[in-house]
Amino acid sequence: MRTMTKKTKAAAVAASVALVAVGGGAAYAYWSTTGTGSGSATTSEGTVEVVLHADFAQGLAPGGQETITYSADNPNSSSTMVGTLATTVTTSVPGCLPEWFTATAPLTNTSVAANATGTALGTGTLSFADNAANQDPCKNATVTVSVTSK
């Protein structure tokens, strides 16, 4: 083996330092930058109204009362909340006065699942007042309870 002289030792050290410097510089090289960005999308146009139902038995007579069962259908692709129910009574015969009838509804605030049908909202009553007036016009009349949600 050859003996290293001072000159060859110095050259070897210089070459090693050069290799480390070049290699080390490549290991720490990177690009720096800044940036911003955003994304957006529109929300749905809103929901289609739920369909509310008020179901009760036929054959109500003066002084009588029937249970009303309330339910909802939700045609939307997301759940929706049905708030407090309000009722209006109408009849099919002019002499059969709507004010002779009283319909009650539950305080609800019920969540109705997406695409659900027949979700129970609770019960109320339909009462037919028994008063001194002749209520014959209500014989075979159709009594309708309309329901809305607030």
Residue 42: which pLDDT band, with cuts at 50, 70 and 90? confident
User: Is residue 24 predicted with pLDDT exceeding 60?
Assistant: no
Residue 76, in any domain of the structure: yes
pLDDT at 1 over 70: no
Instruction: Give residue 149's pLDDT band: very low, low, confident or very high (50, 70, 90).
Output: very high
d(CA 9, CA 51): 94
Q: Is the pLDDT of residue 15 over 80?
A: no
In the chain, how many domains are there?
1
73 lies in some domain = yes
Domain, as residue range, for 56: 51-133
Instruction: Give me the pLDDT at residue 18, please.
Output: 56
> What does the pLDDT read at residue 41?
76
Domain assignment present for 34: no
Answer whether residue 11 is part of any domain: no
Residue 53 sits at φ, ψ, to 5 deg, of -125, 145
Asked whether residue 26 is domain-assigned, the answer is no
Q: Are 128 and 60 in contact (CB under 8 A)?
A: yes
Contact in structure between 77 and 48 (CB atoms under 8 Å): no
| pLDDT at residue 47 in the model | 74
- String of DSSP letters for 11-37: HHHHHHHHHHHHHHHHHT---------
Confidence label for 115 from pLDDT (cuts 50, 70 and 90): very high
The gap from C-alpha 9 to its chain's centroid, in whole angstroms, comes to 80
Average pLDDT over residues 75-103: 94
Average pLDDT estimate for 98-109 = 94
For 1, 70, 82, 87, 115, the CA distances from 123, given in Å and listed in that order, are 106, 6, 14, 12, 22
